[in-house]
């Protein structure tokens, strides 16, 4: 891509969907950029070229497609793909002409079979790494030409370009016939095993290659172990290797390389390159700068040679104790596999004697390198990085979560200037980086930079509307700049020669810290900043929701003045939703915080909106504290506040002040902040002390009770609910207040929670400030304190057992009658706690109950989550307890994991993991047993085993007298009692029955029912008692309320019933499909017979499953002596 010199910066190539875009490289005749692994859409493969214009005018952009391939790595013709577009930038009419540039090239040979670039017997990511590296070197060297070089020519066409990268990708996963001998096993054919690491000791400062890569011996053709040979062996062998040094000479010993060193690319183990193993070296132990002596200098051939000191594409490596000099790029950490690397304790950009050695990037974290550590709080781990155009550059999507701490930028080890253009730059996607910290030795120190110390810039979204959505991979978000010193000497002292922004820029590069386009949701916190021009800048419509807080600008960490000629904080060009909070700005000539609407050269810019300015202290300037740039000087309030501009040119609040506090009017709902001001009444600012805040009422009124001295000067600003913040109001003089009686202005109740610290501020009005007294008992752990300024505090942690409401009386006195009095309630709440056991056990077929208990104030509700077995339910008793109860149905045995929650709105709910175990009924245990030993009227209650009786036909007919369950039957009446929670397929059902009198002119019918799915579907064993006392038995089936006989009614021989005597009845249900159904009846005073009165076989589908049992009674309608009482006793259902 070609543009006029200095007219634009190429940011990157944004891919849609899969694909990897590589960093733009500025070659001899233009910018080159490439991408591979792309996936085409329905019509074509789409990418977007992203540029950042640097000059206004009609910008010509010439794009030449130099090379392209299909997914398989086959070259596609690009001969005719040469296009020029013209873009208007700003309002300047000049034409910025792109140079003619080159044309797409053609290889001199046809492509051959793809060959390995990293010869280890397989095509893998290491081959792609080699192709990528060669592409970069070729592009910066040959530009649009056809660069050759065996090192990266994967397809053998004598042209190194993007086609070789794609061809290597396409071949990944296949094997080759490489002749490289791997020492322990052939990695291509054997699964990785635990391999002990090797230590290679470099004894020669020559740059000769390894004689036999992968044989486990670090040796060139003469048997010498060179750094190049050691890197080759460590790269080919499995295990975590070390490279140590024992070179002749004084540390640092120079290793002059003749070309790029081998990549650090092994995925089978890591390598530690430790320069501090060289005799005579020593790690840094100084708190300021460095007294270290690195062991080895890796020296290149000048920036024009486009060499790297080390190029790392794999994970877990360590580089320490080295000097990187005379190199285009010192250390390159590249690609998604480059993570968990440590670059510590090095000098980057210096010779062994600390003299300057310039280049492009000291350390480059590139295209997906993530989770790497550059420096650490250990003194020995401090990197010294200087003289490069950029100390550390982080580029591309996926370059995330790197940690940069305890490094010294743009300052030599001896503390002298080692000026950079920028200390750290972030472009086109890095996220979640941590730069610095608040702990010991976590800060980074930035010395002199021509542009900015730290910058976030050029985030992008290829699929969203332009300049609106920066959420995807190319956004710059979640980064933190914390606790750094920017623009100072290494000891934190101020020196004008060490500031940021030494070279004034007409665009965006003259600050200590710059948060620029596409950089959103970042935090700039607790840094010290000195710059020639502006301290910190946030700008661009795509720089949103950034937080700049607690920074000190214009003052050194040692308290010295660090003057700026511009603004302490510059906010402009459409940025929105930023928070500027708690910063201290001093010695900024232009002013404290400027929301500008112009460029550095006076051109128009969109204003910033919804920018919250809160609790910033600004002193030592002749400029404004805050300027929204509506008009020259302070912006006057306009009726209706209808003017437009930065922060909507929000009107400042009106303000009056007395000894008792300040008051006035503002926008309803706005927060008004009050400051002590350093300038005279009627002037504006400067805000030298924050005094408090208040929220404006619905009518706009606000007041802040605070003790002010007569003739103090105060000012205020307002912050609307949408974050727009006003300029400061005109300063007012504090007037003497007339004595007024005190009254309470705070709420009359507060709630604390047991075990949690609580605090409540009691406030009063009146002048002079009142003293406040409290009477009434306080809960243990809570105290009352009069603050002596018209306020008092209730504070403490309520002790266990102190829940309740405490009635207090508060009295305010200031010598003016009457005293103020307030009845006050302190409510102590207790968070819920579940106090019951975490498990319970029920038994199949037997009624069970368990009570869940919980404490808390107020009384908690209790809830249960999880699946209960059939027949069991849960209910919240609304008294801090809940009940699990019921009769588990047959077949429900097992363990039921449940969760119990107690909630009362205090803190987190209490939860308990609860286990309900359902045991199977013991072998031979009955399904149902009822001896009717209870006494009930109008009910039968619950059986000892089998759950509750369900009654039908009118409950007044039922009773239990302690000996039997009774049913009073009028002529023609039918009554049923069923145990619905009992369920079985095969079973034996028995009971005894009696009547209080024989029927006259009719019969009494008693039934035992089984497999009852409902009253209208069941098997019935019928006993008919005739008027003469004779007994008849019959088997019946009922389906859908239709009763059918399963055999004839039979007379039970030898049995005649008299009133009060008992009959025994037994029925059995055996098998299914068919079911054998049988019954017998006998006089209970005698022995139970072994024969059955009646037996039937039945296969009706409705009766072939497990179901419940019931008893039933009926008196024929012709009976003349009713009602008759039918009694059942000793009911039992069990396995047959």
Whether 190 is covered by a domain: the verdict is no
**The 3-state secondary structure of 316-363, one letter per residue:** CCEEECEEEECCCEEEEEECCCCECCEEECCEECECCCCCECCEEEEE
| Residues 430, 340 within the same domain | yes
Range of the structural domain that residue 871 is part of? 835-919
> What pLDDT sits at residue 43?
63
Distant-in-sequence, close-in-space partners of 1101: CB < 8 Å, separation ≥ 6:
none
The larger pLDDT score, comparing residue 246 to residue 765, is at 246
| Residues 428, 338 within the same domain | yes
Question: Where among 510, 528, 558 does a domain terminate?
Answer: 510
DSSP state of 300: -
User: Cα separation of 720 and 647, whole Å?
Assistant: 10
Whether 298 is covered by a domain: the verdict is yes
> What pLDDT sits at residue 393?
98
Mean pLDDT score, 1060-1067: 96
> What pLDDT sits at residue 122?
87
Whether 861 is covered by a domain: the verdict is yes
Whether 519 is covered by a domain: the verdict is no
| Lowest pLDDT segment from 151-155, 265-269, 795-799, 1062-1066 | 151-155
Mean pLDDT score, 759-788: 95
| Residues 248, 152 within the same domain | no
Question: Where among 693, 712, 733 does a domain terminate?
Answer: 733
Structure tokens at 795: 């504070």
Question: Where among 481, 510, 539 does a domain terminate?
Answer: 510
User: Cα separation of 748 and 695, whole Å?
Assistant: 19
- Is residue 769 predicted with pLDDT exceeding 50? yes
DSSP state of 211: S
- Is residue 760 predicted with pLDDT exceeding 80? yes
> What pLDDT sits at residue 51?
87
Label residue 404 exposed, middle or buried (CB < 10 Å: 0-12, 13-18, 19+): buried
Give 808's strand partners.
824
**The 3-state secondary structure of 859-903, one letter per residue:** CCEEEEECCCCCCEEEEECCCCEEEEEECCCCCCCEEEEEEEEEE
Q: What is the pLDDT of residues 22-56, one digit of tens each?
A: 888 887 667 888 899 988 666 677 788 888 888 88
| Residues 257, 344 within the same domain | yes
Angle at 960 between CA 958 and CA 961, to 5 degrees: 135
- Is residue 884 predicted with pLDDT exceeding 50? yes
Mean pLDDT score, 370-378: 98
User: Collapsing DSSP states into helix, strand and coil, what is residue 305?
Assistant: helix
| Residues 380, 335 within the same domain | yes
Mean pLDDT score, 111-121: 87
Q: What is the CATH number of the domain that holds 982?
A: 2.60.120.200
| Residues 269, 396 within the same domain | yes
Whether 614 is covered by a domain: the verdict is no
Whether 1106 is covered by a domain: the verdict is yes
Q: Which among 201, 342, 322, 313 is positioned nearest to 255, based on CA atoms?
A: 322
> What pLDDT sits at residue 332?
98
* Total domains present in the chain: 6
Please say whether the beta carbons of 129 and 152 come within 8 A.
Answer: no
User: Cα separation of 809 and 152, whole Å?
Assistant: 86
- Is residue 160 predicted with pLDDT exceeding 60? yes
pLDDT band at 507 (very low <50, low <70, confident <90, very high): low
Average pLDDT, the chain: 92
Secondary-structure breakdown of the chain: helix, strand, coil percentages, each rounded to the nearest 5 = 5, 45, 50
- Is residue 469 predicted with pLDDT exceeding 50? no
Specify which of 134-143, 321-330, 842-851 reaches the highest per-range mean pLDDT.
321-330
User: Cα separation of 1010 and 1111, whole Å?
Assistant: 9
Percent of the chain with pLDDT over 90: 75
Whether 530 is covered by a domain: the verdict is no
> What pLDDT sits at residue 190?
34
| Residues 932, 913 within the same domain | no
Q: What is the pLDDT of residues 1015-1057, one digit of tens each?
A: 899 999 999 999 999 999 999 999 999 999 999 999 999 999 9
User: Cα separation of 46 and 1042, whole Å?
Assistant: 76
Q: What is the CATH number of the domain that holds 894?
A: 2.60.40.10
| Lowest pLDDT segment from 129-133, 337-341, 798-802 | 129-133
Place of tokens 């650090």: 264
| Lowest pLDDT segment from 20-24, 922-926, 1104-1108 | 922-926
User: Cα separation of 824 and 774, whole Å?
Assistant: 9
| Residues 438, 323 within the same domain | yes
DSSP state of 282: B
CB atoms within 10 A of CB 207: 18
Question: How far are the Cα atoms of 254, 284, 411, 770 from residue 290, in angstroms, in the given order?
Answer: 20, 5, 10, 59
Structure tokens at 689: 């002390």
Residue 141 has phi, psi (to 5 degrees) of -90, -45
Alpha carbon 746 to chain centroid, angstroms? 38
Structure tokens at 864: 């249960």
| Residues 994, 952 within the same domain | yes
| Residues 910, 943 within the same domain | no
- Which parts of 338-471 fold into alpha helices (H)? none
Q: Are strands 534-539 and 511-515 parallel, antiparallel or unpaired?
A: parallel
| Residues 693, 745 within the same domain | no
Place of tokens 């030993």: 933
- Is residue 430 predicted with pLDDT exceeding 80? yes
Whether 540 is covered by a domain: the verdict is no
Q: What is the pLDDT of residues 550-584, one digit of tens each?
A: 999 999 999 999 999 999 999 999 999 999 999 99
> What pLDDT sits at residue 796?
98
| Residues 778, 724 within the same domain | no
> What pLDDT sits at residue 189?
34
User: Cα separation of 959 and 1028, whole Å?
Assistant: 27
| Polymer length of the chain | 1136
């Amino acid at each position: 891509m070609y543009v006029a010199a200095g007219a634009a910066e190429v940011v990157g190539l944004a891919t849609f969907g899969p694909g990897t875009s590589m960093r733009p490289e500025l070659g001899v005749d233009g910018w080159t950029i490439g991408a591979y692994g792309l996936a085409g859409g329905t019509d074509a493969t789409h990418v977007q070229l992203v540029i950042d214009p640097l000059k206004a005018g009609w910008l010509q952009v010439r794009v030449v497609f130099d090379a392209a391939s299909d997914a398989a790595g086959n070259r596609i013709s690009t001969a005719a793909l040469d296009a020029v577009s013209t873009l208007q930038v700003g309002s300047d009419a000049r034409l910025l002409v792109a140079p003619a540039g080159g044309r797409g090239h053609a290889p001199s040979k046809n492509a051959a079979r793809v060959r390995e670039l990293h010869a280890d017997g397989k095509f893998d990511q290491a081959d792609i790494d080699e192709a990528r590296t060669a592409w970069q070197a070729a592009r910066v060297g040959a530009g649009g030409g056809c660069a050759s070089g065996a090192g990266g020519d994967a397809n053998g066409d004598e042209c190194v370009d993007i086609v070789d990268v794609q061809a290597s990708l396409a071949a990944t996963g296949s094997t080759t016939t490489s002749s490289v001998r791997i020492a322990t096993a052939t990695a291509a054919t054997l699964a990785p095993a635990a391999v002990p690491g090797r230590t290679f000791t470099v004894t020669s400062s020559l740059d000769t290659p390894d004689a036999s890569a992968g044989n486990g011996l670090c040796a060139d053709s003469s048997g010498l172990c060179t750094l190049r040979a050691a890197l080759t062996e460590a790269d080919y062998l499995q295990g975590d290797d070390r490279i140590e040094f024992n070179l002749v000479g004084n540390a640092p010993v120079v290793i002059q390389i003749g070309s790029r060193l081998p990549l650090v690319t092994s995925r089978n183990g890591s390598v530690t390159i430790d320069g501090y193993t060289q005799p005579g070296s020593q790690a840094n132990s100084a708190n300021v700068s460095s007294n270290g002596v690195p062991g080895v200098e890796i020296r290149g051939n000048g920036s024009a040679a486009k060499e790297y000191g080390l190029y790392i594409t794999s994970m877990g490596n360590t580089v320490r104790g080295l000097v990187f000099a005379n190199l285009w790029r010192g250390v390159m950490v590249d690609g998604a596999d480059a993570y968990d690397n440590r670059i510590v304790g090095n000098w980057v950009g210096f010779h062994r004697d600390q003299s300057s050695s310039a280049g492009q990037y000291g350390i480059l974290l590139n295209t997906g390198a993530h989770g790497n550590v550059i420096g650490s709080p250990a003194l020995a781990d401090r990197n010294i990085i200087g003289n490069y155009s950029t100390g550390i550059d982080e580029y591309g999507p996926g370059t995330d979560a790197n940690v940069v701490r305890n490094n010294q930028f743009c300052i030599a080890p001896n503390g002298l200037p080692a000026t950079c253009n920028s200390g750290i730059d972030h472009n086109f996607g890095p996220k979640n980086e941590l730069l610095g910290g608040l702990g010991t030795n976590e800060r980074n120190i930035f010395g002199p930079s021509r542009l900015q110390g730290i910058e976030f810039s050029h985030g992008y979204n290829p699929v969203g509307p332009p300049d609106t959505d920066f959420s995807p991979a190319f956004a710059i978000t979640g980064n933190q700049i914390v606790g750094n010193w920017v623009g100072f000497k290494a000891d934190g002292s101020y020196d004008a020669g060490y500031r940021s922004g030494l070279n004034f820029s007409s665009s965006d590069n003259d600050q200590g810290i710059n948060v620029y386009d596409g950089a959103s949701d970042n935090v700039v916190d607790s840094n010290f900043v000195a710059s020639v021009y502006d301290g910190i800048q946030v700008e661009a419509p795509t720089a949103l929701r950034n937080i700049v807080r607690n920074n000190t600008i214009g003052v050194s960490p040692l308290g010295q003045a660090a003057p700026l000629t511009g603004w302490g904080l510059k906010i402009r060009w459409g940025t929105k939703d930023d928070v500027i909070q708690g910063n201290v700005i001093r010695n900024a000539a232009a002013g404290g915080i400027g929301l500008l609407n112009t460029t550095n050269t006076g051109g128009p810019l969109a204003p910033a909106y919804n920018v919250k300015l809160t609790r910033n202290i600004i002193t030592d300037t002749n400029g404004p504290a805050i300027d929204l740039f509506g008009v020259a000087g302070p912006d006057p309030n306009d009726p209706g506040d209808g003017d437009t501009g930065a922060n909507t040119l929000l009107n400042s609040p009106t303000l009056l002040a007395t000894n008792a506090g300040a008051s006035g009017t503002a926008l309803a709902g706005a927060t008004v902040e009050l400051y002590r001001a350093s300038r005279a009444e009627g002037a504006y600012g400067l805000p030298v002390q924050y005094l408090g805040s208040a929220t404006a009422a619905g009518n706009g009124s606000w007041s802040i009770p605070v003790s002010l001295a007569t003739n103090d000067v105060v000012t205020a600003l307002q912050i609307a609910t949408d974050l727009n913040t006003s300029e400061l109001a005109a300063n007012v003089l504090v007037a003497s207040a007339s004595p007024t009686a005190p009254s309470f202005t705070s709420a009359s109740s507060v709630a604390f929670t047991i075990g949690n610290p609580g605090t409540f501020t009691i406030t009063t009005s009146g002048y002079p400030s009142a003293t406040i007294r409290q009477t009434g008992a306080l809960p243990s752990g809570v105290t009352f304190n009069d603050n002596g300024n018209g306020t008092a505090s209730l504070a403490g942690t309520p002790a266990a057992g102190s829940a309740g409401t405490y009635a207090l009386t508060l009295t305010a006195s200031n010598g003016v009658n009457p005293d103020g009095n307030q009845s006050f309630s302190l409510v102590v709440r207790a968070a819920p706690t579940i106090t019951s056991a975490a498990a319970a056990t029920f038994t199949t077929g037997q009624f069970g109950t368990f009570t869940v208990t919980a404490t808390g104030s107020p009384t908690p509700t209790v809830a249960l989550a999880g699946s209960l077995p059939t027949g069991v339910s849960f209910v919240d008793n609304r008294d801090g307890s809940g009940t699990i109860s019921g009769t588990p149905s047959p077949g429900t045995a097992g363990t039921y994991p449940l969760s119990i929650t107690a909630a009362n709105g205090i803190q987190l709910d209490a939860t308990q993991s609860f286990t309900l175990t359902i045991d199977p009924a013991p072998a031979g245990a009955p399904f149902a047993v009822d001896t009717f030993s209870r006494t009930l009227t109008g009910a039968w209650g619950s059986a000892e085993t089998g759950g509750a009786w369900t009654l039908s036909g009118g409950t007044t007919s039922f009773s239990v007298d302690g000996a039997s369950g009774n049913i009073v039957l009028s002529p023609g009446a039918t009554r049923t009692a069923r145990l619905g929670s009992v369920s079985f397929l095969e079973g034996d059902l028995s009971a005894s029955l009696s009547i209080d009198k024989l029927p006259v002119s009719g019969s009494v019918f008693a039934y035992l029912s089984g497999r009852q799915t409902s009253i209208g579907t069941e098997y019935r064993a019928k006993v008919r008692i005739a008027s003469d006392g004779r007994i008849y038995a019959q088997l019946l089936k009922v389906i859908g309320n239709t009763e059918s006989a399963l055999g004839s009614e039979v007379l039970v021989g030898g049995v005649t019933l008299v009133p009060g005597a008992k009959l025994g009845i037994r029925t059995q249900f055996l098998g299914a499909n068919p079911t054998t159904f049988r019954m017998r009846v006998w006089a209970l005073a005698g022995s139970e017979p072994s024969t059955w009165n009646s037996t039937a076989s039945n296969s009706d589908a409705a009766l072939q499953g497990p179901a419940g049992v019931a008893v039933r009674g009926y008196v024929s309608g012709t009976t003349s002596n009713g009602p008759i009482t039918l009694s059942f006793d000793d009911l039992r259902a069990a396995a047959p």
